[in-house]
Structure formats: C-alpha cells, structure tokens
Amino acid sequence: MRRFTPLRPAPDAVLARANPAAKLLAAAILMAVLFVASGPIAPAVVLAALLASLPLTGLGATTLLARTWPLLLAALVGESEQAGLWTLQAGVFPENRASVAMHLKAGFREVGRREKLGRLNGAWRDVLMLERRSPVTGRD
C-alpha cells in the first residue's frame, strides 16, 4: 500500500504558506461545482478559474487532480444515490491501475472487458467495464 505523502507547494508561490488542506478543500469544492454545474458555459468558466489559480497555490495540476479525483468520485456516488440512480458505470483502460483501484475502493466492481473499444494515440485499446450498484436505491 502506498503511503500518503503531504502536498508540497512551491515555496515561492503566493499562497505557499496557506494550509495545504484548506487549498485542497477549496480545489475539491471548485471541482465539484464544475461537475454539477447546470449550464453549458458554467463548467468551462469554473475550470478556467481553477486552472488560472493553480500558480498561486504552488501545486501542480497533476497533484491537485490526483488528490481531488477520489473526493469527486465519492461525491458522485452520494449524489447519484440521492437522485435515485441505481447503477453507475465506468470504462477504464486496464493499464490505468490507479483509476481502477480508485473505482474499486468506491464500491465499483469489474463486470467485463470490451475489446478495442477505446482509442488512445491512434490505437484501439481494450476497456474494463466497471459498475456500482447502489445498496440504498433500487431495492424494493
């Protein structure tokens, strides 16, 4: 199991002395707003604002996404159950072990593999099919 490593912002960043957990929470909130925004323009505006603010925090986009993505997936699961959705499905390249592990941890299970379904860098690739059935919704 990989150990948790603390966020290490660039020391010369404007917000470098701010609490990294607070910055992560703020980023998670912005990312959540991005995913649940209702208008077609709103997600692009939120994403642009988030990307524009990254140099101020001293955190890289890759680090920020790696830390916030599991939070977003957990939020998606919670929102889907509140909305009455019974099944969530995901397709992930098998080589993306981090994403597969994150989905499994969020309650997804592997239901199959579709051959040459996704295209990456000009080559057709297999895709793992994952799904999560709600233990709350859809049970009569």
| Whether 54 and 36 share a structural domain | yes
- The predicted-structure confidence for 74-121, as pLDDT tens digits, reads as follows 878 888 888 888 899 999 999 999 889 989 988 999 999 999 988 888
The Cα 125–Cα 127 span in angstroms is 6
What residues pair up with 132 in beta bridges, in sequence order? 88
Query: Has this prediction a pTM greater than 0.85?
Result: no
| Whether 101 and 59 share a structural domain | no
| Whether 65 and 97 share a structural domain | no
Range of the domain at 65: 1-83
The per-residue pLDDT for 52 is: 73
| Whether 103 and 118 share a structural domain | yes
**Helices 20-36 and 42-57 sit at what angle, rounded to 10 degrees?**
170
